[in-house]
Amino acid sequence: MGLEIERKFLVVDDSWRSEVDRSEPLRQGYLSTEASRVVRVRIAGEQGFLTVKGKRVGDRRAEFEYPIPVEDADAMLEHLCLRPFIAKVRYHLDRRPGDWIVDVFERENDGLILAEVEFSDDSPVTDLPDWVGTEVTTDDRYGNSNLQAHPYSTW
Catalytic residues: 30
Rounded (10°) CA dihedral 77, 8, 142, 55: 70
Rounded to the nearest angstrom, the gap between the alpha carbon of residue 105 and the centroid of all alpha carbons in its chain is: 10
Kindly list the distances between the CA atom of residue 105 and the CA atoms of 16, 53, 64, 79, 88, in Å, as whole numbers in the listed order.
15, 21, 23, 23, 4
Supply the DSSP symbol for 153. G
Q: Report the distance separating Cα 110 and Cα 141, nearest Å.
A: 15
- DSSP readout, 42-89? EEETTEEEEEEEE--BTTEEEEEEEEE-HHHHHHHHHHTS-SSPEEEE
